[in-house]
Amino acid sequence: MSETRKRRGLQRRIDKIDAENIDYPTPSLAWMGRTHQWGTRVKPGNKGLTLSSLNVGHYGEIPEFWEDQTRMPRGSVAGPGGVPPIGYSVRAKHELWADCAGDLYEEAIQRRWAPTTDVPWATIEPLPEVVERAMCQLCTELCQHANVEIETITSWQQELSYGYHEVKMFLATETFDAARHFEVFRKRALCNGGGLGVESQGRVNRMILENRGGWTEAMAVLQLLRGTLTHTIYRHGMSFAHNDAEAIIFGKCLEDKSRHLAYGLDHLKYAINHQSDQALILEQVLGIGERHLVRELRDPPFRESLAIIFGGGIEGARTHGMARYQHLMGDFVRQYLDWSDWLGLRRREFVAPELKAFLEK
Amino acid sequence: MNAAESVETFDLDLGWLDQMGEWGTRAEPGKQGLTLADIQLGSYGDVPAHSDNLTGRPRGAGKRADGFRVGGYEVRDKQDIWLDNAAMIYEEAVNRQWSSATDVPWETIRPLPDDVEQAQCELATLLTEVEFVAGDVPARWVAATTPDYFEPRMTLLAQIMDESRHMDVFRKRALANGGGLLQRTGGTAGVVGSIDMSRDFTEMSSRLHISGEGAVLSIFRMGELMAYNEAEKIAYRLCAQDEARHVAFGVMHLRYIADTAPERKEEIHCYLDESERALLAGQQNPAAQQTPVSEALAILLGGGKDQFDDGYRKLLAIRRRQVKEYMQRVKSAGFGERFENGRANPELKTYAQL
């Protein structure tokens, strides 16, 4: 509806009001002037008006602990008390913060994409049946990676204090990305004469979901351990893609996943630097997580589907397909250990032996 | 040893090839691309009335006897969360994403008289405060819902994304023009009967989507009439697009309940009774009676505090529109009898007949 029509519509409604019988209230205007900082004038820069650019003066002061238990926007005036608490449990900055969250939020929005229209689905051609089955199995696995990401983050979102809104907003983009990943791999499985594969046993999924003692611990297994594996699969996916559609799917998912990892790593670094004992806790959590991952890797569907894709069929899977799978896992472990080193976590020394063995591949 | 003999050979256990889901599915992209509706084929389109999926299995995937029960989902009955057009709303949301950083022409903002700027910042403070209730709360329900109902879950995830952008765009507006944030209203508190504390998805949806977001949608739709520059007009317009999808979710879900679970209608009417009390007097509706934000709205609509009465008349007209739109939504959802049998808040009728 045009603005003119809206104005006319409003005027018609106003005309119908019996102006003489309106009981005009006297405004108290008590809210006027109740501000911690007036005169703020943030200007858009090269990237527009970004979230991080708003962090000026009082509005950029990010407290170490967020006392408020309501949705008071950071920098606003609390006003009279007596507002019953909503009950946020994650209220210390070190429990969730990452300096890059605001920028990652804006980047996620700028790099948005739509599986429905941005993937050239028409480029998908029939594959040998066993290869199609392997692709469908991999898609099923990746749907579950996305599902666990969704369920883990959404179960925490209501617990994260409002004072650290950059993180909450970035996480909104991450779960939206994960919904898109769930969608795009389901679509890939169902568009080329195949179907979904068999579900994962869920050993690592359970390990991630049950790491709910703290947000930081959940991030360690979701982002650093599982996230690095998913990221590695997407990266290799661009090389084993059979068509443009798959290349774009893996490429777009890789961009998204890189942001998720950036938040996860930045947060872990912040938590480790600001909380004594955090590194030791994370080493424990990751050590347990690695053992669950090792057991899951013994399960055939995941590794054999990748081997078949790499090998171009079952015979190839038995030889160079499985060798390339091991190379992929080697890449994963190398990356995982590099990032652990950067975080100051002693995983290179103590990583599960079965994972360490991939380093030679 | 020759080269061929040196290649390591691995044993495979290919039993999983026989455990996969339905085979032979070939969804074709249509004019709008490959949509979720296009892949609802065969067993993949069968949405169970009750879900026994506790392992997080994608709908239609092969089951395993040794899968861990990791879900613990509270919402496993279709009627508790379903709506028929969730997939369509989700697709629309994905296609209509926008950026508050670059799609709003911030350079069109010019200094305003102090009373008008304060009113704009008061409204922006409220919207920054209340918009993400629709981020936090749906998130909790996504985690609690079986992935067999992934269409509504994904629509809620799109809503969380939208709400974070709304929180962001109004914070930006408050800090872009020589003003700042003002006083929090406490409009989303942890009280009984609030959106946050709802113990049932439909209870939450009736409050959040039908009443709360519906009221805000009416304000956004009229935003052009209280905007002072192109940036504000575009921000309201884009937010209204998003908000309309969220309201549509609630209306279609209630309609599904009305059609498939008529035994729950009386219970839903109780939620609507509470919502209607809050609609006119609560802090979440910017146009509610005699709140700081309704004063700010009157100033914005009138053009300054000296034209408060003029703005107040316009506010009454907007409130009337809000009420009529609310009534229309409730009727469309299949609960219109409350306006015939005297159950609805009588004050609504007063406004509707203004």
Once rounded to an integer, what is the mean pLDDT over residues B266-278?
91
* Mean pLDDT of the region B282-311: 85
A67 Cα to chain B: minimum distance (Å)? 15
Q: What is the DSSP string of B126-179?
A: HHHHHTTHHHHHHHHHHHTB-GGGHHHHHHHHHHHHHHHHHHHHHHHHHTSSSB
CB contact under 8 A, B354 and A168: no
When computed from its CA atoms, the radius of gyration of chain A, rounded to whole angstroms, is 25
Please give, rounded to a whole number of angstroms, the shortest distance from the CA of B17 to a CA of chain A.
7
The pLDDT value given to residue B13 = 95
- Set of chain A residues whose Cβ sits within 8 Å of the Cβ of B125: 73, 76
For B123, the 3-state DSSP assignment is helix
Structure tokens at A275: 């909380």
**Tokens 């309501």 — which residue?**
A70
User: Per mean pLDDT, which range of A275-279, B75-79, B144-148, B210-214 is the poorest?
Assistant: B210-214
Q: Is A200 helix (H, G, I), strand (E, B) or coil?
A: coil
* CB atoms A3 and B233 under 8 Å: yes
Taking CB atoms and an 8 Å limit, are A162 and B132 in contact across chains? Answer: yes
The number of distinct structural domains making up chain B is 1
Q: Give the domain range for residue B165.
A: 78-352
In a domain, B308, yes or no: yes
Which pLDDT band, with edges at 50, 70 and 90, does B2 fall under? Answer: low
- DSSP assignment of B299-322: HHHHTSGGGHHHHHHHHHHHHHHH
Give the pLDDT band (50/70/90) at residue B1.
Answer: very low
Q: Give the pLDDT confidence of B82-126 residue by residue, as tens digits.
A: 999 999 999 999 999 999 999 999 999 999 999 999 999 999 999
Do B321 and A13 lie within an 8 Å CB cutoff? yes
* Chain B residues lying within 8 Å of A86, measured CB to CB: 136, 188-190, 196
Q: Is residue B72 part of a domain?
A: no
Q: Which residue of B has its CA nearest to A245?
A: B34
Residue B39 lies in a domain: no
Asked if residue B202 is part of any domain, the answer here is yes
- Residues of chain A positioned with their CB less than 8 A from the CB of B22: 195-196
Tell me if B46 is assigned to some domain. Answer: no
Domain assignment of residue B177, yes or no: yes
Answer whether A200's CB lies under 8 Å from A301's CB.
yes
Q: Are A110 and A116 in contact (CB under 8 A)?
A: no
Q: What tokens were used for B248?
A: 């549509």
Answer yes or no: is B290 within a domain: yes
Mean pLDDT along residues B180-189: 86
Angle subtended by helix axes A228-240 and A244-274, to nearest 10: 160
Q: How far apart are the first and last CA of chain A?
A: 63
Question: Does residue B38 lie within any of the structural domains?
Answer: no
A196 closest CB neighbour out of B12, B21, B160: B21
What CATH code is carried by the domain that includes residue B108? 1.10.620.20
Looking at residue B186, its pLDDT comes to 80
The number of residues making up chain B comes to: 354
Question: Residue A13: its pLDDT value, please?
Answer: 77
pLDDT of chain A, 361 residues: tens digit per residue: 677 887 888 788 777 777 777 888 899 999 999 999 999 999 999 999 999 999 999 999 999 999 999 999 999 999 878 888 888 999 999 999 999 999 999 999 999 999 999 999 999 999 999 999 999 999 999 999 999 999 999 999 999 999 999 999 999 999 999 999 999 999 999 999 999 999 999 999 999 999 989 999 999 999 999 999 999 999 999 999 999 999 999 999 999 999 999 999 999 999 999 999 999 999 999 999 999 999 999 999 999 999 999 999 999 999 999 999 999 999 999 999 999 999 999 999 999 999 999 998 8
How far the first Cα of chain B sits from its last, in Å, is: 96
Share of chain B above pLDDT 70, in %: 95
Any idea what the Cα angle at residue A285 is, between residues A294 and A300, rounded to 5°? 15
| Cβ proximity of B187 and B129 under 8 Å | yes
For residues B180 and B174, is the Cβ–Cβ distance under 8 A?
yes
The reply to whether the predicted model has a pTM over 0.90 is yes
Is residue B5 pLDDT above 80, yes or no?
no
Cβ atoms of residues B232 and B116 within 8 Å: no
Question: How long, in residues, is chain A?
Answer: 361
The reply to whether residue A73 touches residue B296, judged by beta carbons under 8 angstroms, is no
